[in-house]
Structure 1
Amino acid sequence: MTGLLPKGSMQRRLVIQLSLIALLLSLVLFLIVRGMAERAAADTQDNILAASATSIADALFVEGGQVRLELPYSALSMLGTISEDRVFYSVLVDGETLTGYDDLVVKAALAVPNQPEFSTFEYRGEQVRAVVVTRLVGSQSQQALVRTVVAQTRLGLVQISSRITLWAVAIGIVFFFVAAGLSLWAAHSALAPLNRVAGSVTRRGPSDLRAVQTQAPAELVPLITALNSLIARLKSSLTRSEDFIVEAAHRVRTPLATVRTQAEVIHRGLEKSKNKTALREMIRAIDESSRSAGQLLDHAMVNFRADQLQTEALDLRKLTAETVERLSPTAELKDISIIMQDQGGDFGFDGDPIMLQNALRNILDNAIKYSFSESDITVALGRDAHNYIISFADQGRGFAGANLSDHLQRFKRGTNVKDIVGSGLGLTIVDEVARAHGGRVKINNNTDTKGGGACVSLYFPLV
C-alpha cells in the first residue's frame, strides 16, 4: 500500500522478547535445580557419613583401663558400594591410632565434642569427604579423647551431579520450549483484538462507512475512536462530493443546452453568410464545452461510484438494447444503421447499472460520432469460457497511432479526429467502469470491412 512502510512485526517482537525472558528463566531454573539437587545429594552423603562415624563411636568401651572397639559391620556397610566409592576410617585415642588408617589426617579441628565436623581434602590421590566425631570415653576420673574419622571418595557424588546436571538441562530445555510456545500463544492472543478490528474493516464493502462497533481492550479504544472519526469525515466528504457532482451536472448542462438551442434558432433566421459562419463557430464551441463539461462530470461520477460500487442483478443484453434504442435517433440523423448480433444464452450479471449504462453509451456515442454517413455499426453480444463480451464495430475513421492503449488515457485523442468535437474522456470512462467490475476493455481497428473503422470490446467475468 502506497505510503505504508511496515517496520517489523509486533507479534514477532513480542514473541522474541517473551522467549528471551523464558530463556533467562530457564537458565535460572537450571542453576537453581542443579544447585539444590547437588546440595541435597551432598547433605545426604554427609548424613550417612555422620551416621557411620556415630555408629563406630557408640561402639567404643573401656576395658581394663583401655579403650576398646568392636567395629560394627553396619557402620561401614551403610555407605554402600554402588558407585565403587572407597571408604576409609580411623579411630584415634588421645592422638594414637586404635584402628584404621594411620595416615588419615583431617585438617579441620573439632571445637565441640559430640558434634560431627565435615571437611573435604585429597587423600591417596583422590578427593574424599570426611567426618570427624569426637567423644570422651571412660569415667570422670579417667577419660580418653577418642576421635572417629570416616572418609569416602566422591565418585558417586560426581556421578549424581552429572545426572542432576543432565536432568536440569532437560528440564530447562523443556521449560524453554513450553514457555516459548506459551509466548507465541500469548502474543497471538494479545494481538487478536487488533486483528479482529482490522478484519472487520477489511471485510467491508467500499460503500460501508458505518462506525466500527466492537469489544476491544482499553488500549485499542483511542485507535478505534480515531478510526471512527476518520470514517465520519470521509462519509461527510463523499456525500458533499456526490451532491456537488449532481448539482454541477444540472447547472452546467442545462444552460449550455439552452444557449445552443437559442443559437440554432438565431442561425436559421440569419441571412448573411458571414454571420452564419460566426454563429456556427459559436455553436461548435458550445457543443465542445457542453460535451467536455458533461464528460468531466461523468468521469467524476464514475470515479465516485467505483469507490462505492452499488451492484444489483441485471441483464447485460437488456442494458445494451436500451442503450442502442436510446441512441438510434442520433444514428438515424446520419443515416447510420445499428445492427444487433446476439449469440444467445444467459447474460445475467451483478453490476452498477448507472456505470454500465454510461460505459455503453460512451462507446456507442463515439461510434456514431466518428462513423461516416450511410454506414453500419455492429453491436455483438457473445461469450467465451470466462467472459461476457460486448463489441461495437463501426466503419468510421478508426484509431490512429501505433500504441492503441494510449486512447484509454485521459484527454488522449487520435490525430485523425481533431476536426470533431470531443474531450478525450469517453474511453477513459469505459476503461474505469470495466476495471471497477473486474473486466477489461480491448480496442483495435476494424478489419472486417474494407473501409476500416474501430472496434471496442467490453469483457466482463462470467457470474
Structure 2
Amino acid sequence: MTHPAERRPGSLRSLLLWILVPAQLLVLSLALWFSSSQLHHQVDLAYDRSLAGALRAIDHNISTASGGLSVELPYLMLEFFELTANDSVYYRILTEDGLADIGNQNLPLPDTRLASNAPVFYDRDYLGASIRIAALARPMSPPLYGQKQGRVIVMVGEDRGGRDQMIRDMMIRNIVRDLIEVLASTGLIVVGVLVGLRPLTRLYRKLKDRAPDDLSPISAPELPREVRPLVDAVNQHVARHARQARRQRQFLDDASHQLRTPLAILHTQLDYALRESDPAEARAALLAMRGGLDQAQRTAAQMLALARAREADTDASPPRPVPLTPLAQDVIRQLYSLARRKRQTVAMDGGELGATVTGIEWLLREALVNLMDNAIKYSPEGGAITLRIERAPDGIVLSVRDTGPGMTETDIRKAGRRFRRGQAGKRAHGAGLGLAIVHTIMRRHGGVLRIEAAMPGVQVSLIFPAAQGFPAKSSV
C-alpha cells in the first residue's frame, strides 16, 4: 500500500488547470452575485423614481381648503405610468387619523410611523400579488375639522411583476455574457498553459535523447525566466559530475599507466625465480621482487592520496585551526622507523613553534608525510633531515631540508607534475606523485609549494599566506 506522502505528484499542466479553472468559476459566481445585488438596487432605484413622481403629482392635487379632503387625480399621468410599468397601479389618500380615506383603502401602510415630507418605499402583498408602495406624509394646510394640526398620507403602489421580469431578463443576459467570457478565458488559460509548458516538453525530449556520456551543459534559451534557475542548478550538478568522472577516468588511466610496468617486472622476476635452480639466485630474485612490490605499494598509496587531495574540493569538512608543531611531531614519530633503518637523524629546528594555520588537518598531514617520506627516501645512509617552522614576510613557512643528491633547475621548475621522473645522477627515478600531492594540497589551502637547492640536498617549503584564511574552492 502506497503511503500518502509517497504518492507521485501530478503533472504541472494538470496542477495549473485544476487551480486556474475552478478559480475562474469561483470568480464568475462572485461576479454574478455582486451583479445581481447591484442590478436589483439599480432597477428599484429607477422604478422608485417613477413612483416618487406619481406620488408628488397626486400630492400636488390634494386640497383641504373646502373643509374636507379633496383630490383631483392626474388620470393622464397615472395611465402613462401604468403603461410604463406594464402592471397595475394603485393609489390611496387618507388623513392620518383615518377619518378620510380615498382610493384603494386596503393598500397597506408601512409598519412604522412616517416622517413628514420624506417618501418611504416598501414591498407588500396586496390582492395576491407583490407590490411596491411609495408613501408620503405631510402636514395638512389648512387642517380639517378645526384641528390645530394634522397630516395627510399619500400612497402609490405598483405590481412588481414588471420590474422583476426586467431583472430576470437582465440577469439572464449577464449570465450568458459572463459564461461566454469564462469559456473564452478558460480556453485561453488552457492554451496558455499548454504553450507555456511546451519548452519544458522540448527540454525533456532533448535530455531523453542524449547519449549516456553526454555531460555538456543544457542550453535552452527559450525557457521561461522562472525555470532558468533550475536549469542552472542542473548544469552545476552536471558539471560537478563531469569533473568527478574526469577524475575517476584520470585515476584509472594513472593506475593502469603506473602499475602495468611494475606488475610486468614482477611477473618476469617470478618466472626467473621459478626457473632458477641456484638458491642464492632465486633468493636474489625474490628480494628484487620485494623491492618491486614495495615500489608498487608506495605508488598505489600515493595515487590514492593524490585522488583524495583532488577530491578535497568537494570535501564537506570545515576548515579549523591546525597547530603546526604538534602536527610535525606526529609525522616525525610516524616515519621515524624509516629514518632509523638508514641511520638518519631527524630534528626540528626552533622557529615559530606556536604557529597555527587554518585548514583541513588530514590534508596538511598528508602533505607533510610526503615531504618527509621524500627526504628520508632520497637522503643517503647517515644523512640528516631538518624540519623548521618560521614566520616570513610572505606568511608562515613549514620547511623540510634533506642532505640528498639535490635537484637540477629543470627538475625544480617541473616539480609538482605527476609522473615526472628525475634526471639520472640526481634524485632517483620516481613517479613524481609525492610533490604533486603536496602541490594540490597547497593550492587547496591558498598556499605555495617552493623548492630550493641547498648545499647539500634540497629544501622544500610550504608557505601559508600571512592573512591565513580559507580561499574559494579551485578545480585541480
- Give the TM-score of the pair, scaled to structure 1: 0.47
- Give the TM-score of the pair, scaled to structure 2: 0.46
